[in-house]
Structure 1
């Protein structure tokens, strides 16, 4: 990785559609109030712990990955069978067969990758911001890309960084469905090697694209900044800790992902228009939500318990 200049003092860059929208300064407020979006799961004497896997995200990786794989499989077989029906193989037909094979390989890769990402993952991948020791601690699973990564072991790791070597950025990526264009936002932390060597050695995110937006990314950073730099509160006024609401049984997972049982009445009362659309598209919605419930259950059933090391526990003290 090439050496990168320290970005903590470079301030704001011009707002674009994608890439780095803003580089934050530790000593500069970016919003009037900070928020946590309900991501703080524990508070300690001088530290706060952010969850890394939101409960509603369990099963989503497998569902989206297998959906992408199914589209690739469908595209591959569509073109392949069309060519085979012609009964004549020329240069053009051979090229179509070649690209059909690439579709199948793409689908296989995404199917296996999504299953591995979802199963046997940590029960959480939390991050602790410790202002007393000016440290940041993480528990995470290291994953590897490429075909070799599919058969490699993905180890669980714990990392410790100096807060003063971490820079924060607001990232955005443009996505399209073919009919609409949208931007996904992220709060990304970059870790430099040392005070004299700006080589980037690691990076991590707080929140996910479903939680974070153009306005909420700066607000989440502002809460962390104030807590670490100005002795700010563990939680913003009126905020509460994320409840531990892990579903344990199969039916609890099904109820957590769709309008089943008592949730049907709650969703009908609070999201009537959405529920009407759900009933209209019932043949599509029901199988999709049911699959998500099954994948959520599998993700929880295979999740690996995590525990902070004794050294980290001593550093952050006991929960308040």
Structure 2
């Protein structure tokens, strides 16, 4: 068996682009991450960003997958430097395990040859084709998007945990701590340097909280037990598929108060506030290394709709 990756001929670029656009949209819709027209908009943004120069774009590589000189599918790679990204891989027939291994070996080799030290990919809920190519090859979840939908009707709220709006005075310390913590977690994924992570954290906080604690659509809370603060919650009002959607941007329990159920109490508070904003779904992002948090969210009914997986080459 021979397996090769061959650049896609320019005259096939338009038909490939139409097909990959449909795959990008379907994966996001089927997973529940972007169930409506926003899936179309996101797919178009990816294609436009990566292929501003059409088939001649240098930002990525579109390759045919040939097995014994017969094309069986295509793959699309972003190759910007040290961190390569597998945007799409698709076969027209089900590949055997040894064929999948051979294809992924060539993709990884190409990434290394262009200077990459890591290779990442998105694995969506329900996308068994991509997962079958990635599983067992040393990829680990770097970050996870999770979704709770519909919101459950719970009756077991922890009444002795007082969750109240954050004061302006408390916000100053929260902003500094949260920005630094996000930068540290982002750098720990290995995707970017700490300097770049710190810059990205500052940028995101500026976008999300331009007016601090008074920013419209953002709700910040502190949790206290017997008047002693035990944690914080940051909840954002967003739109998903044209309807209100809650998104947890930050949730933290002080180290001295962990393993006492306060994290769960904050999560239930997020559900209550999400209902008050008229939303029936709640999402969050968690770094893959935070296994305790992932376990809690799954116990509460969240499902993983998208995982960014990374492998060191």
- Same fold? TM cut 0.5: no
Is the strand fraction higher in 1 or 2? 2
Structure number with greater CO (CA < 8 Å, separation at least 6) is 1
Greater Rg, structure 1 or structure 2? 1
Relative to the length of structure 1, the TM-score reads 0.21
